[in-house]
Structure 1
Amino acid sequence: MTIITVFSIVLTILVYIFTLFVAKRYSSPFTTPVFLSTVIIIIVLVASHISYREYEPAKEIMTYLLGPATVALAVPLYKNRHILIQNLLPALAGVFTGTILTIITAILLGKAFKLSKLMITSLSIKSTTIPVASEISKIIGGDEILVAAFVMITGMFGAMFGLKILDRIKVSSPFSRGLSLGTISHGIGTSQAVKEGELQGAVSSVAMALSAVFTSILVPWLIPLFLN
Structure 2
Amino acid sequence: MSQVLFIVFVLLTLGAYLATRWLFLTYRSPLLNPVFLSTVALIALLQATGLTLEDYRPAKDFMTFLLGPATVALALPLYHNRQVLTRHALPVLSGVVAGSLTTMAAALVVGRVLQLDRGVLLSLGPKSVTVPIAVEISRLNGGEASLTAAFVVATGMIGSIAGPALLTLCRVQSPVARGLALGTVSHGQGTAVALLESETAGAMGGVAMAIAAVFTALVAPYYLPLFLQ
Match for residue 92 of structure 1? 93
Deviation at 1:118, TM superposition (A): 1.7
Letter in 2 for 1:143: E
Match for residue 39 of structure 2? 38
Letter in 1 for 2:112: K
Q: Distance in 2 between matches of 1:48 and 1:68?
A: 32
Q: Distance in 1 between matches of 2:173 and 2:114?
A: 34
Aligned-CA RMSD value: 1.5
Deviation at 1:26, TM superposition (A): 4.0
> Are 2:80 and 1:74 aligned?
no
Letter in 2 for 1:150: F
Match for residue 63 of structure 1? 64
SS of the equivalent of 2:50 reads coil
Q: Which residues in structure 2 correspond to 1:79-228 (within 5 Å)?
A: 79-228=80-229
Comparing 182-191 with 61-70, greater Cα deviation is found at: 61-70
SS of the equivalent of 1:93 reads helix
SS of the equivalent of 1:170 reads coil
SS of the equivalent of 1:6 reads helix
Letter in 2 for 1:154: T
Deviation at 1:96, TM superposition (A): 0.4
Q: Distance in 2 between matches of 1:178 and 1:191?
A: 10
Q: Distance in 1 between matches of 2:165 and 2:130?
A: 22
Segments of 5+ residues of structure 1 without an aligned counterpart are: none
Q: Distance in 2 between matches of 1:73 and 1:164?
A: 23
Segments of 5+ residues of structure 2 without an aligned counterpart are: none
Q: Distance in 2 between matches of 1:174 and 1:27?
A: 16
Q: What percentage of residue pairs aligned between the two structures are identical?
A: 46
The answer on whether the counterparts of 2:30 and 2:164 sit within 8 Å (CA) in structure 1 is: no
Q: Distance in 2 between matches of 1:183 and 1:217?
A: 15
Counting matched residue pairs gives 228
The answer on whether the counterparts of 2:180 and 2:201 sit within 8 Å (CA) in structure 1 is: yes
Deviation at 1:3, TM superposition (A): 3.2
Q: Distance in 2 between matches of 1:46 and 1:6?
A: 19
**Length-normalised TM-score, structure 1:** 0.94
